[in-house]
A and B are shown apart, each in its own frame.
Chain A
């Protein structure tokens, strides 16, 4: 028996006024958490929007749960199984936190009031917002609104969870809570997590996809990407202008990521961030990756 992948993208291309946001992307996703990294403008959001069926590709094929969603019925069938947190989510005026997630649950066809309310309470509890659910969305903090967005994506425990920078603006304590939620979701669902936080990818994902200029630059295990940086990261007493990147750490020593060891340097354990910097070279440095 062949296992049908949750997401299968073949040759997906999307152009906006001549600029290729995605260029011939091939990607197959199954259960587990896949991290999506890439500099600003790499095409991560475009990839997620296409997978979430809110944007149609210019070329290529998108197959979700084994079907190519074309007509309204097929689209609805696919959408019943997906949860999506967009990168930018305008906040509806006049809703409380509970009211907004409840409204989203109605849009997701939870027509039975008692079951819907129980589900809304469950997802709000998951993202630790049950205490402030009665407040107006406009009165919530940025990080709380982000978690509210995540709560609506988690409704109904979807088979495909598409998250565009879910931890932006979220405090470290809550980020750990969210990691627990996502790691649990990844046990049975397919989760695609776009982020600039390499440590979130290192902590959560078994697989990482790096996009750059709309193309897939790396697709493989997180450990394999980290391994590409082995022997290319050092701790030195002085900065190295010739290195890919070097910066002064809290200990006073300089972390150097590059091709050649500076004089007197000692090797350091590479991280995903180091590997990402080495993979993307100058582009990663000029557009920046958040630590």
Chain B
């Protein structure tokens, strides 16, 4: 039997968080659901790049589904699996808020993949020499919604994993997110007003192009993609903070509640700004 090693000097919370986040990121990257999602993303994107048009930014739905929606299940299962040893984990110096923060940071793994995907599609759009009636800024904003959704889905999984104990909760959350997103497409069927934009854009993920009939020309919905991205980022912050509140205690918990309140105000503000932009549709 070997001699006992020197016990670690008490690490700063930052050092523990970094080490733990790296461990969680490795677990995320090895998750079969995530890996299957990446393969599906590559296949779906490769087959779509052949016939790109001005609505190319709406390809963001692919990472939103393959990484974001699938990520709800991954985030949930990673969170539940490390809760299983229960009291042994709770008796360790790294407390619940820190463990949740590490899991939230691991959700940047699908985000990084989605970012690489966005660069790939942007380069393909640039190379396709399209008329780009809607401008590069808007196209980039639309692509960015897919990147944020790829982080947001897993964060919702972590949130649900922290607050519920029932094993199918991740699946239920994925269904709820899908339902919310689909319900908001009703905004695209309404007249082009700011209220219509609000119905369209309060979703956790939104597509931007539609048409008035099978043979009608496609159009791009009104509203600001970049303020919408800011709204999505605020929703991600809300999910991560709400997950951390669960096991935080004392002053830390109070602080997190304050952060939640601030983020809620920021989310509403960003959504309002996204909807305040010109609601007129742009025909492509």
- Listed in ascending order, the chain A residues whose CB lies under 8 Å from chain B are 49, 52-54, 71-72, 75-77, 79-80, 82, 84-86, 88-95, 100, 102-104, 106-113, 115-116, 118-119, 121-122, 125-126, 149, 152-153, 156-157
Closest to A164 in B: B87
Contacts of B99 in A (CB 8 A): 107
- Listed in ascending order, the chain B residues whose CB lies under 8 Å from chain A are 1-2, 4-8, 10-11, 15-16, 18-20, 23, 27, 30-31, 77, 81-95, 99, 249-252
User: A102, A110, A149: which contacts B88 (Cβ < 8 A)?
Assistant: A149
- Cβ-defined contact, A93 with B81, below 8 A: yes
Q: How far is the CA of A106 from the CA of B102 in the complex (A)?
A: 11
- Cβ-defined contact, B8 with A76, below 8 A: no
A82, A91, A109, A149 — most chain B CB neighbours (10 Å): A109
Closest to B89 in A: A107
- Cβ-defined contact, A115 with B92, below 8 A: no
- Cβ-defined contact, A89 with B86, below 8 A: yes
Contacts of B93 in A (CB 8 A): 75-77, 79-80, 107-109
Contacts of A53 in B (CB 8 A): 91
Contacts of B2 in A (CB 8 A): 121-122, 125
User: A72, A80, A92, A152: which contacts B81 (Cβ < 8 A)?
Assistant: A92
- Cβ-defined contact, A79 with B84, below 8 A: no
User: A77, A79, A95, A106: which contacts B19 (Cβ < 8 A)?
Assistant: A106
Contacts of A121 in B (CB 8 A): 2
Contacts of B11 in A (CB 8 A): 109, 111
- Cβ-defined contact, B91 with A52, below 8 A: yes
Knowing A106-B20, A106-B94 are in contact, say whether A115-B8 is a contact too (CB < 8 A): yes
- Cβ-defined contact, B84 with A92, below 8 A: yes
- Cβ-defined contact, B5 with A108, below 8 A: no
Closest to A45 in B: B87
Q: How far is the CA of A152 from the CA of B83 in the complex (A)?
A: 15
Contacts of B89 in A (CB 8 A): 104, 107
Q: How far is the CA of A113 from the CA of B19 in the complex (A)?
A: 9
- Cβ-defined contact, A84 with B4, below 8 A: no
A54, A88, A107 — most chain B CB neighbours (10 Å): A107
- Cβ-defined contact, B4 with A122, below 8 A: yes
- Cβ-defined contact, A112 with B8, below 8 A: yes
- Cβ-defined contact, A156 with B85, below 8 A: no
Contacts of A71 in B (CB 8 A): 250-251
- Cβ-defined contact, A86 with B88, below 8 A: yes
Least CB distance from A88 to B in Å reads: 7
- Cβ-defined contact, A84 with B87, below 8 A: yes
Q: How far is the CA of A153 from the CA of B87 in the complex (A)?
A: 11
Least CB distance from B147 to A in Å reads: 26
Least CB distance from A4 to B in Å reads: 19
Q: How far is the CA of A119 from the CA of B8 in the complex (A)?
A: 10
Closest to A118 in B: B5
Least CB distance from B120 to A in Å reads: 30
